[in-house]
Amino acid sequence: MNENQLVPQDLTGGPLAQSFESVVAGADYLPRFQLFSSKSDACAEGKIVGGHYGLVKDDIITDLGAEISVLVVSWRAKAVQTGGEALIIDYDHNSAMFNDIKTRSGEQDSGCMYGPEFLLWLPELGTFATYHMNSKTARREAKKLGPLLGGAVTLKCRLIETARFKWHGPVVLPCSTPMTAPPEDVMRAEWTKFQNPPATGAELADDDGKGNRAR
């Protein structure tokens, strides 16, 4: 019992109170799997080390290190435009909106990005997550995931250097370590939700990804 309770306990309960947890619960969305650049806001704030993979949910980042093995369950196309209080998200690669975002993704500070988004199973954490490979570097490496769909892969990180810039990029390798998949019924249920996303449009942003995007 709450020691500071001023309202009679029988008034705080009742049939309607049974729905309290469902009302305050967060949206039913998967955590985001991401490779963090050392120049990201999250790294600058000390939430994670640059060049490490992280799992993001409800503003909490779990540092997964520079190497992790995952199960790649499925994929879909995804285009995102950030900025403002909402994200514009489109999963239809044939739509005018998707291709407009794709075209503008090459413009500096456009807030536009696109690429394949993968449904991953992270056995070490016992959770599914989404991984949007939406930068030029990530999209190039994503080509290696096609032949490995449905199997386990090891994701590593490499530092890329040019005359003017340095950034971190993903490295995709086959995984030889035995991995346990989730129960088939659970996996099918998550696949169904993943392959049937909300209709194209604006979605409230849990964050806009600003500063967390690798080149």
**What is the percent of the chain where pLDDT is above 70?**
79
Asked if residue 12 has pLDDT above 80, the reply is no
Domain that residue 186 falls in:
28-204
| In-domain check, residue 17 | no
**C-alpha span between 174 and 144 (Å, rounded):** 9
pLDDT of residue 139: 95
- Does a structural domain hold residue 67? yes
pLDDT tens column, 46-58 = 888 889 999 999 8
**pLDDT greater than 90 at residue 115:** yes
Report whether pLDDT(76) > 50. Answer: yes
Confirm whether 20 is domain-assigned.
no
For residue 2, is it within any domain? no
- The string of pLDDT tens digits covering residues 161-189 is 887 888 889 999 999 888 999 999 999 99
Return d(Cα 16, Cα 80) in angstroms, integer. 38
* C-alpha torsion 188→190→192→196, nearest 10: -170
213 pLDDT band, cuts 50/70/90, is: very low
**Six-digit token string for 174:** 């086959």
Please report whether residue 210 resides in a domain: no
Q: For residue 21, tell me if it sits in a domain.
A: no
140, 172 Cβ separation under 8 angstroms: no
In a domain, 43, yes or no: yes
Domain count along the chain = 1
Q: What is the mean pLDDT of residues 139-164?
A: 91
**Is 212 contained in some domain?**
no
What is the pTM for the complete model shown?
A: 0.80
